[in-house]
Amino acid sequence: MAIEIIPAHFSRLEQAVDEIAADGLFFIETRIEPDQLAPEPHVHAYSVAIYLLEGDLELYEPHIGRTYRLEAGTKAVVPAQTLHKERSSAGFRAAIGLSHDPATMDEAASPAAG
């Protein structure tokens, strides 16, 4: 499955939190610095919904050669097992919905690790 991008989807953190809960996802709010992102394309065993609150984020899908540039208010959904790579020049803050409980993930599998 491909990454889904929904520009101008929300304007407040509370909207993102409510939608994450309504979708039955596990919520985390995080700040991710550029050096925390995986340097190579990778997949996750779980789906990730990213609600970009501030900063810059690019998502790249190597199998189709497409780069998505997210800005604040954008929602991106990365389905489980979707090959992708993240890039950010200055870091970003996001509300994230995970289809898997982050409390049961090891550090290498966490979203901040890529």
What domains appear along the chain, each with residue ranges and CATH number? 4-101 (2.60.120.10)
Q: What is the pTM of this model?
A: 0.90
> Are 110 and 102 a contacting pair, CB within 8 Å?
yes
pLDDT tens, position by position, 31-53 = 999 999 999 999 999 999 999 99
Pairing of strands 75-78, 4-6: antiparallel
**63-80 pLDDT, tens digit each:** 999 999 999 999 999 999
Percent of the chain that is helix, strand, coil (3-state, to 5):
20, 40, 40
**pLDDT tier at 61 (50, 70, 90 boundaries)?**
very high
Q: Which residue has the tokens 């790579």?
A: 85
